[in-house]
Structure 1
Amino acid sequence: MGRGEGSPGGDLHADATAVLGNWRPAGRDQEALRQAYLGFLAGRPDACRRSCEAGHITASALVLDATGERTLLTLHPRVGRWLQLGGHCEASDVTLAGAALREATEESGIRGLRIEPTPIHLDVHPITCSSGVPTRHFDVRFLVRAPVDAQAVRSAESVDLQWWPLDAMPSNVDDLYPMVEAALARLR
């Protein structure tokens, strides 16, 4: 096993369990999901690996600009929708926050991103990953702040990449609003 996949010393699974075990979300729905994630982690030592066909933990980032008024969204090539940045945990990841920050940096091209180490939101969604197998993503979402005057550079993982005002996001992102609300509550 690679580092971050259940090996001693760099145990992403242990970090995910600790992070979610210590986090106390504000709402009942998020608490129910937190408990479900903890149950999934307890039953699946491979829960953080993409190869876990029953589903796997993913890490994503709601990237806000320095003013906290805009978010960076990617037009996902397979899903065809605007989404927050993020994705699968890799063997080199040792923390969920580190995985979210790595994904945000890779997908945005922005250096100097800062991450809040405590999750802001959880979401489980069905998806067919690149392996072609239908599965579920147990997404752990973090708040990430961009430096002043950050310029995003689209990666090969995106059809488009744009800053959107929080009060004027694209029309098909209704499922992102609970995450945005959680982030704004954290900033207050």
Structure 2
Amino acid sequence: MTLYDDAVLTLKEYAGRGEQAELREVYLEHLAAHPDGVYKPCRAGHVTGSALVVDPVRGRVLLTLHKKLGMWLQMGGHCEPGDTTLAGAALREAVEESGIAEGLTLLPGGPVRLDRHPIPAPCNWHLDVQYAALAPAGAVEAISDESLDLRWFPYEEVAAVADTSVVRLLEATRARL
């Protein structure tokens, strides 16, 4: 199975309701029109994978201060040629950007949310498939080259530092925990 096939299957199985169901259809239409729509060179937009790293025992999340955007965000990024699944791409990004190499696992049940946001030209959209990753006990983070900072935030502080997309992702993640 290719990454494209996995993306289509993952989205078809995604059980979002309301606006999330509408976004699922937008993503599926995008992929039907753009067989290269899982990769960055697709100028019409491309699917990305991200993961909110959570420590449910301590009630906190690990956010990265994005180097280019200057915003506190979940870990995530572009799919790469070696990726075979969206879940694998999201977990790879979470490991790379968090520095937590051992024991980071995705929350079962597939994607937590979808988030479509505009990006600067030449591309138009990131079609982000958002997961949650569970940090192992005693996890130690390490800042990557893609980040200005990396910090744990208690759940109740996230809304003060992050945008609505991250807040919604946290809410959906907590509903699943």
* TM-score w.r.t. length of structure 2: 0.93
| 1:103-142 paired onto structure 2 within 5 Å | 103-110=93-100, 111-116=102-107, 118-128=110-120, 133-142=122-131
The equivalent residue for 1:161 is: 150
1:64 pairs, out of 48, 54, 60, with: 54
The equivalent residue for 1:13 is: 4
Cα distance per residue 1:74-124 (max 9 Å; x no partner): 000111100000000000000000000000000111021001350000111
The equivalent residue for 2:78 is: 88
**Alignment check: 8 A CA contact 2:158 2:167 kept:** no
Could you say what the CA RMSD is over the residues aligned between the two structures, in angstroms?
1.4
More divergent stretch after superposition (161-170 vs 95-104) = 161-170
SS of the residue corresponding to residue 45 of structure 1 reads coil
Distance 2:76 2:7 in 1: 16
Distance 1:44 1:183 in 2: 30
* TM-score w.r.t. length of structure 1: 0.88
More divergent stretch after superposition (163-172 vs 149-158) = 163-172
Q: How big is the shift at 1:143?
A: 1.1
Distance 1:124 1:97 in 2: 17
Q: How big is the shift at 1:133?
A: 2.4
Distance 2:68 2:90 in 1: 20
More divergent stretch after superposition (62-71 vs 35-44) = 62-71
Structure 1 residue runs of 4+, over 6 Å off? none
Distance 2:68 2:163 in 1: 19
Cα distance per residue 1:36-67 (max 9 Å; x no partner): 11111111100101000110000000110151
Q: How big is the shift at 1:173?
A: 1.6
| 1:21-60 paired onto structure 2 within 5 Å | 21-25=12-16, 27-60=17-50
SS of the residue corresponding to residue 157 of structure 2 reads coil
Distance 1:151 1:37 in 2: 35
